[in-house]
Structure 1
């Protein structure tokens, strides 16, 4: 009997061949902010995933936070991504674009035009970002004005429409890991005194409006979202009342028939130290298909999907060195370890040169 993890499923309007999802992975190889030939090959190799979530892709120039990351807001970027999506679809795969605004996790040296990074409030993150040479500490951002918030919402809608034009099967809104939407959600990074700050009901407003803008542009059934309520990624800090924030976020998400909700369970790329009761309550409150993420082994993933605790499971670093990860998991064979020195920036080495299984083994 085939484990349910390896059977077809559906996320909104997106039909998936299996429940093994490739999580978004920033690899810093779009040297002119446009997808390259190397990126086309990288994603093509991983088309065996039930669903690929692209690397974080900025919605505007000021949304960029790391050197050499791609955008999805210009005609050249749309054309570049179309080559990626065509390659993935030719292999029978499905891919969504993770649309991304980093907020305060940036530097003027990274942003086109040397603009100052923006955020809900003028509070420094005390985090670091990759500037193309080193990991440099971020500074104090500019607090968004109300007209700038309106313009940012329009940027989200435009990016979503560009993603569909580029051939993506949908988008994943990046609302996790201490980036812009997450910065609005938490009282550690949002000190506003207007309708976007203060009580939780106000702090979820930006999220609500982003969802309305994106679903209005492309439809809820091809819109997913990623959240990480328990993560301190980018030194965002934990909200003073995470359970209440989770409940409010779930209510906002449930107002739309979303394709999926992708949840980082615990610290992003770190310990799964999520309070079990809080995670269970959050999971139970969501009506959209649930993609679980963070530190899953094969056994954990098989169990989660078989039990109904997750509709799919996302793997991140395992996909870096195992482009045929679903086949390897299904055959229950050892995984290739990644070469960490090639994670960020570079060429084909440590990017598109990892081995795959012989076909006979991959079909076991």
Structure 2
């Protein structure tokens, strides 16, 4: 089966939630925690950066042109192979190739450094369908001969307290892959089914487009949506997106959130908030329940194909093999010069300085 990239819209919309919780969500609590220990000037910069991020999403959605349904003639349709579950042997071989290809980059954020696992070859090498593993340090080996046995998540955000070059990292890796799947079939006369009590429903089915709503375990476990034409042949897809809400709803919620955030910044600049505690209280009260970035358990998937859809098969994971192993990551851009251009945590994003790195 030919692997294709998800559209950019999918990357932006995955994980956004339409609900309005009564108390701050995990994502909002994480945002609030970013203000701890900061000065008011630093807090203002956090708000400004977040406002710019939201503006970027809004501008993208304005410019993004969604695909429209299209009717195909019989000789215009393009087909794909029937969807099959990869064998455990093929999955293991892909992970072996994946681990052999990756390394890490070290980013100094004085007086700490961050580790980013570099996996840019996943898609170009046909490994884009793999679940991204979780990495945790077992032991960090520094170029000066020292080491660190503390446990750190290698998520690109966890700070490691050191200013010296790491040569390699022994990591504990966790990932899983599907060993058993089930198929749920839907069409215009049978628009709704359940998987372990979770509803899967056709929202739209016209020409080459199908939009599905999936709840709870169905949304969490779906693998692939296969569309068949009237002759039962699987159609090749042209694009697909997954989101936790209808796109129109998301745009409205995002705009409301942006307005509330800008109003908060306006109040900040007027001196309404005297300290971090009062600012955090205002954030929780004014924008917490408007956040579109909360975790979700239900959502939508919208798919377009090169042909007219008669029915769809939704494949869901019904059993997974969980793997724990160790692998060594090498620093793919080690800095042995003794100096690096870095951002001080107490400065703005544009205020850079030269920091010495122990090699």
Q: Which structure is higher in strand share? A: 2
Same fold per superposition (TM over 0.5): no
Instruction: Please say which structure displays the higher CA radius of gyration.
Output: 2
Larger RCO, structure (CA 8 Å, separation 6 or more): 2
Scaled by the length of structure 2, the TM-score of the pair is 0.21
Scaled by the length of structure 1, the TM-score of the pair is 0.21
